[in-house]
Amino acid sequence: MVSLGCPKALVDSERILTRLRADGYAMSPDYEGADVVVVNTCGFLDSAKEESLEAIGEAIAENGRVIVTGCMGDEADVIRARFPEVLAVTGAHQYEQVVEAVHEAAPPTQGPYVDLIPQPDEGGIKLTPRHYSYLKISEGCNHSCAFCIIPQLRGKLASRRIDAVLREAEKLVAAGTKELLVISQDTSAYGVDIRHQEQMWKGHPVRAHMTDLARELGQLRTPQGETPWVRMHYVYPYPHVDAVIPLMAEGLLTPYLDIPFQHASPKVLKLMKRPANEAKVLERIKAWREIVPDLTIRSSFVVGFPGETEEDFEYLLDWLEHAQLDRVGAFRFEPVAGAAANDLPDPVPEAIKEERYARIMEVTERISAAKLQAKIGRTLPVIIDEVGEADEDGDIGATGRSQADAPEIDGAVYLRNVPDTLQPGDIVQVTVEDADAHDLFGVIN
């Protein structure tokens, strides 16, 4: 399995592999030992599509028997034009079709003792480390943002039943997960499509709603009786997000919100057709931080969107100075085949995109550096991701993350001189000794 793209695609890969293992298949660590290769593609941007095509080409060159799935599966004609030898092409989260294609390409050789084949454990196959897991609560999206083709690739919003989500979360935590990362295309809209349908859970009704979900996830406990970290991603700032902040103050949720603002200029937001772009976001952020002073807000922004003027960009920079977001990613606008933004007038020249990208990164890096410097001397909980080998002096280093750091996208906490009993997944108290623009450095108390 070659899995590309976002965490939502990674969850799709995990589900496909879990079903295949239940059918008696094993996963090969390399191309050479595989009967068939499944490439789970990303099709969000042209650069991502090219990466997906390169991965397909590599799999064909190394193995020859390739099944393609994922978001770029929507462009089967493009894939087959370049690689006519692919065995099958399926779209995003079409698990059954992928499994059927694998069955056809490499029929399972189940004998009379099929029931003895190891079945998936409670958590299924995971492609992430044991101590953190992605919890996907819905598929698709109801928005029609001008730069995005996700609704074409993954369809309209389709929320999972609340009891099914909570049952999966409970099993993941019981199996060793210390950190749950809640993902979807629009976490704030969870349950809208099913009218926030109620289900019974642990003897009481719960709605398919972001606040109910957050409250119930905060009741979970690990086998050791600890509260797992629960991190909310892809949260649009709808009014009901205000009700989630007190849950962070109570310790039920990790004080972290991933909000894809994308821009701040009202004109550009209107051109982008962005939802929930009310003008009072800055005031709300201030109110959230009054309730939860350690709240971390991460976001992403697009520079060089068609029609973005220097005045619009200056507005964004000024907004960022006021918002003081903790973690920021920026992207140069890139046309995507099928996106409405491609037809907008006044495209921004590439040179200006590059110049604006450099300026926004300079501002956000300065803000990040100042925020991390302010943490020096503090003691923070840190979850361990990796423990190194002892050096020539016998000192062991480790890499972890604070509650302000989501895996793969944010910073890290680098630890010196840790005990040799330390394991990935341990949550330890760390005194911060130093910081740079993105990471912290410290020692376990």
67 and 155 inside one domain: no
Question: Is 124 among the domain residues?
Answer: no
* Shared-domain flag, residues 66 and 80: yes
* Total of domains in the chain: 3
Per-residue pLDDT tens digits for 329-347: 999 998 887 888 888 999 9
Query: Mutual orientation of helices 350-373 and 310-323 as an angle, nearest 10°?
Result: 10
Pairing assessment for the beta strands 198-201 and 204-207 based on DSSP bridges? antiparallel
Reported as a pLDDT band with limits 50, 70 and 90, residue 44 is confident
Counted residue by residue, the chain has a size of: 445
Per-residue pLDDT, 45: 82
Residues contacting residue 125 through CB under 8 Å, at least 6 positions apart = 14, 17, 18, 21, 27
**48: CB partners within 8 A, 6+ apart:** 4, 5, 42
CB 215 within 8 A of CB 162: no
Indicate if 303 and 184 belong to the same structural domain.
Answer: yes
**What confidence score (pLDDT) does residue 287 get?**
96
Closest CA to 272 of 322, 184, 339: 339
Residues 6+ apart with CB under 8 A from 369: 435, 436, 437
Q: In this structure, are 351 and 396 located in the same domain? A: no
Written as one letter, the residue type at 219 is Q
Say if residue 366's pLDDT is above 90.
yes
Q: Model pTM greater than 0.85? A: no
pLDDT band at 205 (very low <50, low <70, confident <90, very high): very high
Based on the domain organization, do 88 and 158 belong to the same domain?
no
- pLDDT (0 to 100) of residue 418: 96
Closest CA to 413 of 384, 437, 389, 393: 384
Average pLDDT of the chain, as a whole number: 91
**195 occurs within a structural domain:** yes
Alpha carbon 156 to its chain's center: 19
Q: What percent of the chain has pLDDT over 70?
A: 95
Q: Is residue 328 part of a domain?
A: yes
Range of the domain at 25: 2-116
Residue 126 resides in a domain: no
Question: What CATH number has the domain bearing residue 431?
Answer: 2.40.50.140
Same domain assignment for residues 426 and 369: no
Residue 316 pLDDT: 95
Assign residue 71 a region: left if phi > 0, alpha if psi is -120 to 50, beta otherwise? alpha
Among 351, 373, 395, residue at a domain's last position = 373
- Residues 294 and 217 occupy one common structural domain: yes
Q: Domain check: are 335 and 297 in the same one?
A: yes
- Residue 184: phi, psi to the nearest 5? -175, -175
- The predicted-structure confidence for 254-271, as pLDDT tens digits, reads as follows 999 999 999 999 999 999
Identify whether 121 is part of a domain.
no
pLDDT digits (tens, 9 = 90+) for 139-151: 888 887 888 877 7
Q: What is the band of 121 on the pLDDT scale with cuts at 50, 70, 90?
A: very low
- CATH code of the domain in which 217 resides: 3.80.30.20
Q: Tokens 């009891």 — which residue?
A: 163
Whether residues 56 and 159 share a domain: the answer is no
Question: Does one domain contain both 8 and 73?
Answer: yes
Structure tokens at 319: 């907004």
pLDDT bracket for residue 81 (50, 70, 90):
very high
Residue ending a domain, choose from 333, 356, 373: 373
Q: Print burial letters for 213-226: b (CB count within 10 Å at least 16), e (below 16).
A: bbbbbbebebeeee
User: Nearest to residue 232, comparing CAs of 148, 137, 166?
Assistant: 137
Domain finish residue from 65, 90, 116: 116
Residue 125: inside a domain:
no
Question: And the tokens for 329?
Answer: 């990613």
Q: Does residue 148 share a domain with residue 269?
A: yes
Most confident of 83-97, 163-177, 274-288: 163-177
Q: CB 58: neighbour CB atoms within 10 A? A: 15
pLDDT for res 372: 97
pLDDT given at position 127: 76
Residue 153 pLDDT: 77
pLDDT at 373: 98
Provide the pLDDT for residue 46.
83
